[in-house]
């Protein structure tokens, strides 16, 4: 299995390949419940805390959201002993800001015996000082487009303000349609774009026609005309 170093170059490289923004557009406590939960938990583990009043307000808001984890397995968590924690279901954006790794889960070595053995092997293979295996027993890299919350957040953002309420119909139908087509597989994406372009061209052509010409075309498909065609078919 190839070793992955989930640093900024790895992360933004995937973003370029996929034609998306370099960093997650929802990386904010006000835009994503997992970002908020990750940052809030780190505050309780020794990092800078969110202001208590703001933390309480955000917690109350996101717990009403349908994106809030329904089970403990889905929740962001920090387990293990203080010196050897295990981080699970973390926002990769928060993980990078705190640890320099774009990862969803990561764990320290269980004890000094494990870390010493790993360090000896890394030394024999000439691993660079930046290799995360010097500090971590395991790391699960994650790009934000693979986060389970990214798609529903993207859908909500393109239709309305994120919250935990019924979002209603999309405000920008054209943007929503383009997003849907972009998520198609490459072949069907091309087909979708072609159909959309042809439809826009046909609509523009119709608008450019004189009123009499439009009436002529509409008359050709009037109810009487359709009835005559049906009678001929019989």
Q: What is the pLDDT of residue 198?
A: 83
- Would you place residue 57 in the very low, low, confident or very high pLDDT band (cuts 50, 70, 90)? very high
Q: Domains in the chain: how many in total?
A: 2
Question: What are the CA-CA distances from residue 4 to residues 1, 16, 138 (Å)?
Answer: 9, 17, 11
Lowest-confidence pick of 19-23, 25-29, 166-170, 208-212: 166-170
Say how far apart CA 134 and CA 127 lie, in whole Å: 9
Say yes or no: 20 and 81 in one domain.
Answer: yes
What is the per-residue pLDDT across 110-127, written as a single tens digit (0 to 9) for each? Answer: 999 999 999 999 999 999
- Would you place residue 164 in the very low, low, confident or very high pLDDT band (cuts 50, 70, 90)? very low
Which of 94, 126, 151 is the C-terminal boundary of a domain?
151
Of residues 58 and 3, more confidence is placed in 58
Question: Would you give the DSSP letter of residue 45?
Answer: T
- Residue 210: give the domain boundaries: 184-233
Say yes or no: 129 and 207 in one domain.
Answer: no
Query: Could you tell me the two tokens for 80?
Result: 């293990």
What number is the average pLDDT over the span 69-77? 93
Share of the chain above pLDDT 90, in %: 58
172 inside domain = no
Say yes or no: 115 and 199 in one domain.
Answer: no
Q: What is the pLDDT of residue 169?
A: 43
3-state secondary structure at position 79 = strand
163 inside domain = no
Say yes or no: 128 and 15 in one domain.
Answer: yes
Say how far apart CA 150 and CA 166 lie, in whole Å: 18
171 inside domain = no
């Amino acid at each position: 299995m190839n070793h992955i170093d989930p640093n900024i170059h790895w992360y933004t490289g995937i973003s370029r390949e996929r034609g998306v923004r370099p960093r997650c557009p929802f990386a904010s406590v006000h835009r994503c419940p997992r970002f908020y939960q990750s940052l809030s938990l780190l505050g309780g583990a020794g990092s800078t805390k969110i202001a208590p009043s703001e933390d309480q307000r955000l917690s109350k808001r996101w717990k009403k959201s349908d994106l809030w984890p329904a089970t403990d397995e889905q929740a962001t968590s920090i387990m293990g002993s203080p010196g050897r924690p295990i981080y699970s279901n973390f926002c990769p954006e928060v993980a990078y800001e705190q640890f320099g790794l774009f990862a969803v889960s990561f764990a320290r070595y269980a004890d000094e015996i494990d870390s010493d053995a790993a360090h000896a092997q890394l030394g024999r293979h000439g691993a660079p000082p930046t290799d995360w295996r010097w500090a971590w027993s395991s790391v699960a890299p994650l790009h934000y487009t693979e986060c389970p919350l990214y798609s529903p957040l993207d859908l909500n953002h393109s239709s309305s303000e994120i919250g935990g309420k019924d979002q209603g119909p999309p405000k920008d139908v054209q943007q929503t349609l383009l997003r849907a087509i972009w998520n198609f597989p490459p072949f069907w994406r091309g087909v979708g774009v072609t159909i959309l372009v042809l439809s826009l061209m046909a609509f523009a052509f119709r608008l450019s026609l004189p009123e009499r010409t439009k009436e002529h075309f509409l008359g050709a498909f009037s109810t009487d005309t359709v009835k005559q065609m049906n009678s001929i078919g019989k």
